[in-house]
Structure 1
């Protein structure tokens, strides 16, 4: 009867709609509708890799006074050092910082408050962090050139530092140049920082980003602190000081010298700041002072 009134076509639509509305509720059942307890998965922390730094170096166990009074002369074995498997890679951070750090605190200090910063946490090894850090460096060089980190050391009164702006670097170098001055340009700020920290030593960990990170982790150095210390923002800014000359000065010191390529042999930490009484200022090697985290 309904089919005669509505027509066969319309009646078919009504019949289909009725079938949809009368669909059995078992299609939509779940653990909640069946009054069954939900399955809860318990996570065991021991099943996950530890993210703490593993280091056989007893240096971090020393007190602050012992660290200040101690000069490191023993060599360190890279094979004993295990870097964490969590890194924070930064392409664009505070004052154009580019590099890799180890902790969320360091990462926040270098990116928070920076407009359009670029960085992320990398949980899959150092190689991936380096790839992320450097992946955009050679893209759009004409329109958006990547920053170059120019660093120098062994300047007047042991001046050393890092400059990002090329024009500013020329003015700063004119103030700081001395017969023993060395200059280098780096693709990352991390390498430039290690270059300044290792002034007065024969070490060349700054030649590569991975070896620079090994040194930073081994010595427990804080990247934001070093970045604020060695970055020179303006041409008339105060210049950080350090060792007066390289431990093996070049024979021809009439012009600005590039550092010689050497294999790491002995690690000595240069003193940064005032010269304590009784220290030999000619060598440029002093007890560790403000490179230790308070």
Structure 2
């Protein structure tokens, strides 16, 4: 955990959540603890914060980080189980909840197969007990592989890539990121996107989303929100991918239509130019919020 953690849209998130002293808040993706630290300071020792992370290493890091912050409890769990976690923690319902759906910059450096710039085992899962991404690469039918790369990665050359993967895995199973990068790069040919991005960028994104069932998980979280929030509770969701954002947008609109509360704000909030310069990974972030009726 050497790289500094920079929370995305921090001030905008805090403004949206509008927390007060003594309130209860949930951080569904505690990561490096940037958002959690700021929220813990606002709610004070009379408040309570439960932070979740599916990645054991990040949960352990956050546990140490907040070991002297009595109002903070860290739980190694996926946010799809937030209702169960809050019940087991005797937390009651939340006044505020945040979910930052981006994957951690630390995970790129942690040897988990998330980076296409290193040659590592092709794992790419937040929970090490989950089946590795290599299982998808080596076992999906060619059509399903192409559909996955196109749908989750927006890769226009998905069929060429899938065909190359299937051809190469017949010779030998694909078990490392380095070999997958070589296969993808050869399949798409030179001059890919005029050199603006690595040829494997979209394939890796698609594989990460599929291996971790990220879209299913977001849908589960959104369906659980009404049951875990207090009256007047505020929710902040930060997405980095159009498919995730579409799920959040639709869910908030449906909750508003059903009379549960209102979207706040109506339109998503994006990072300022200044934040994007300081933290380039924030460029694709979108913040959406919801306030439940009092």
Report if TM-score (shorter chain) is over 0.5.
Answer: no
Instruction: Give the number of the structure whose residues are more often strand, by fraction.
Output: 2
Q: Normalising by the residue count of structure 2, what TM-score does the alignment of the two structures yield?
A: 0.26
Which has the larger share of helix?
2
